[in-house]
């Protein structure tokens, strides 16, 4: 891509896509670098623990008896390390990063499976009661379309569980997602220094539009 084309793309993102609630996709090699360099080791740190506890607890609250859980953008397995203490029938983590999946598998979490996949194109072969997007929905080209696509893989009564950092066009992305899902529970989690805030929400798909 030429410098002029890159400039045009950045302007389109800032002036058109961001206000409309579109996401900012990230390349696989960029994700791998973040994990292999140690830049994202902080996901296992203290400040990241509370939002993962809330997210895992929300899933257990709605599905206390052996749910099937699909953890999209599972990264190196942080949510899984928390959710393993709850009962579940199946837990499948999916991430674009080869490095992240390798790290998640290295945790050797019993009965938890981790595979490589791009949620823009990858689709599961079955239904799930809970589908989580843990700090990854902002990377979707169209967050609303992504939710619509995965709503087809929710079991009857199934729900989405999202953690979304307040950064960039996050508010517009929530508005866009609200066109296809309704929020049934919402809370916010703040870091100890008050500089980071995550929105954690439980979403129910709206009836399919005819």
CATH of domain 3-205: 3.40.50.150
Question: Under a CB-based contact definition with an 8 Å cutoff, are residues 114 and 93 in contact?
Answer: yes
The pLDDT confidence band at residue 26, using thresholds 50, 70 and 90, is very high
Exposed (0-12), middle (13-18) or buried (19+): which is 112, by Cβ within 10 Å? buried
Q: What are phi and psi of 95, to 5 degrees?
A: -145, 150
Per-residue pLDDT at 65 exceeds 60 = yes
Structure-token pair, residue 100: 């992240």
pLDDT at 19: 63
pTM: 0.91
Question: Under a CB-based contact definition with an 8 Å cutoff, are residues 197 and 189 in contact?
Answer: yes
32-67 in b/e burial notation, b at 16+ Cβ within 10 A? bebbeeeebeebeeebbeebbebbbebbbebbeeeb
pLDDT at 193: 82
Q: What is the domain partition of the chain in residue ranges?
A: 3-205
């Amino acid at each position: 891509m030429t410098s002029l084309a890159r400039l045009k793309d950045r302007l389109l993102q800032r002036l058109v896509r961001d206000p409309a609630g579109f996401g900012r996709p990230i390349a696989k090699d960029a994700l791998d670098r973040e994990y292999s360099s140690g830049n994202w080791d902080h996901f296992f740190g203290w400040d990241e623990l509370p939002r993962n506890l809330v997210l895992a607890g929300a899933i257990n609250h709605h599905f206390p008896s052996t749910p099937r859980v699909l953890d999209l953008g599972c990264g190196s397995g942080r949510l899984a390390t928390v959710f393993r203490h709850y009962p579940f029938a199946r837990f499948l983590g999916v991430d674009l990063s080869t490095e992240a999946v390798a790290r998640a598998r290295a945790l050797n979490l019993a009965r938890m499976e981790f595979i490589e996949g791009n949620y823009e194109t990858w689709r599961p072969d079955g239904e799930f009661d809970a589908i989580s997007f843990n700090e990854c929905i902002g990377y979707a080209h169209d967050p609303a379309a992504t939710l619509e696509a995965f709503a087809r893989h929710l079991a009857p009564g199934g729900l989405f569980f999202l953690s979304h950092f307040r950064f960039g066009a996050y508010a517009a992305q929530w508005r866009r997602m609200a066109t296809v899902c309704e929020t049934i529970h919402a809370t916010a989690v703040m870091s100890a220094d008050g500089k980071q805030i995550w929105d954690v929400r439980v979403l129910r798909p709206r009836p399919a539009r005819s």
